[in-house]
Structure 1
Amino acid sequence: MHIIDDRMKTARFRWAVAGGAALVAGTLGLLGAFAWQPSAPTTVADPQNTAQVAQGSTVYAEQCASCHGERLEGQPDWRSRKPNGRLPAPPHDASGHTWHHPDADLFKITKQGIGAFAPSGYESDMPAFSGILRDADIWAVLAFIKSSWPEDARRRQAATNDRAQK
């Protein structure tokens, strides 16, 4: 009887150790799944990336050109308010002011709408593209736009990006 009790205790001990180990491993695995997340890819608008620029050209033609122009020229008289008080769509070529802004701001304006930056109550015809365009599409459009700028505008905009990141 004493030997059987010892064997049962040993078996229970082994099961307890195995169960405890499984519990610890499962808990660590679960915690690891929540604690470790792969970092989101750092996406940039790279006017030298021909694939990104080509993607941006397509998305721009489908989503942006109707307001900002097929050649990024914007709407006529874009600095003067329309009768409804809103400003026309500005150009995104070198004649506009897009290159004066850091990429992160351009991305946010496109994704969230101008309301993310404008004073309270400001109205714009520019929609927010969240839920319409993927982030990669927005970055691609920005790469396409930047690819049209002369080297001096790209260089100055890159410096703006650098200052914004500090």
Structure 2
Amino acid sequence: MKKKSIFAIGGALSAIIVIGLVVYGNSQTEDAGQVRLRPDDLQLVATGKKIYDANCASCHGRDFKGEPNWRERSDDGLLPAPPHDETGHTWHHPDDLLFALTKYGPAKMIGDGYQSAMPGFEDVLTDEEIIASLSYIKSRWPQEIRQRHDQMNQSAAR
């Protein structure tokens, strides 16, 4: 049963990504493709840490470990907050999608009544603050993961 659950969650996450990219791509200006995280910008990362601590750490953890059993729906039907470290799936998504998920939230991006505990931050954080918090997250990934993420961004930009 666990294998079925893992495959079902994997399929659901894949669907979220595809739908999110389509919705995001159809709803944004041509500048939207220009989102780039800057994990080597120490000043931006320091700002991002403060933003992350104030807005994200309560669910995703100050240590980026997320909530327990994040791949399994809770009794309320919602998925717990995933980790943002190398054990989670955050680094599997290009910068543009990470930005859109943070700004608009999964429910708004996916639509069709999709429920998520993750809010959108478009009325809370500026675009630069979102980029700062995501840059902070990326700055904490191992170098190998950061390089793989950079390669994915380059492929997505083509």
- Structures share fold, TM-score greater than 0.5: yes
Tell me if the contact between 1:73 and 1:92 (Cα under 8 Å) persists in the aligned partners: yes
1:102 and 2:94 are equivalent in the alignment:
yes
Per-residue CA deviation, residues 122-164 of structure 1 (Å, 9 max, x unaligned), is 2100001001001110000111000110011101111111111
- In 2, Cα distance between the equivalents of 1:162 and 1:116? 27
Q: Of 110, 113, 121, which residue of structure 2 is paired with 1:121?
A: 113
Aligned residues: 127
- In 1, Cα distance between the equivalents of 2:52 and 2:133? 6
1:74 and 2:66 are equivalent in the alignment:
yes
1:157 and 2:149 are equivalent in the alignment:
yes
Equivalent in the alignment of 2:81:
89
Tell me if the contact between 1:59 and 1:137 (Cα under 8 Å) persists in the aligned partners: yes
Provide the aligned C-alpha RMSD in A: 1.7
- In 2, Cα distance between the equivalents of 1:120 and 1:152? 37
- In 2, Cα distance between the equivalents of 1:158 and 1:68? 23
TM-score between the two structures when normalised by the length of structure 2: 0.76
- In 2, Cα distance between the equivalents of 1:91 and 1:152? 18
3-state SS of paired residue (1:70): coil
TM-score between the two structures when normalised by the length of structure 1: 0.72
Q: Give structure 2 stretches of 5+ with no counterpart.
A: 1-30
Counterpart AA for 1:143: S
3-state SS of paired residue (1:159): helix
Counterpart AA for 2:154: D
Tell me if the contact between 1:43 and 1:136 (Cα under 8 Å) persists in the aligned partners: no
Mark the structure with the bigger radius of gyration.
1
Tell me if the contact between 1:108 and 1:116 (Cα under 8 Å) persists in the aligned partners: no
Equivalent in the alignment of 1:62:
54
3-state SS of paired residue (2:110): coil
Tell me if the contact between 2:67 and 2:82 (Cα under 8 Å) persists in the aligned partners: yes
Equivalent in the alignment of 1:3:
none
- In 1, Cα distance between the equivalents of 2:88 and 2:145? 11
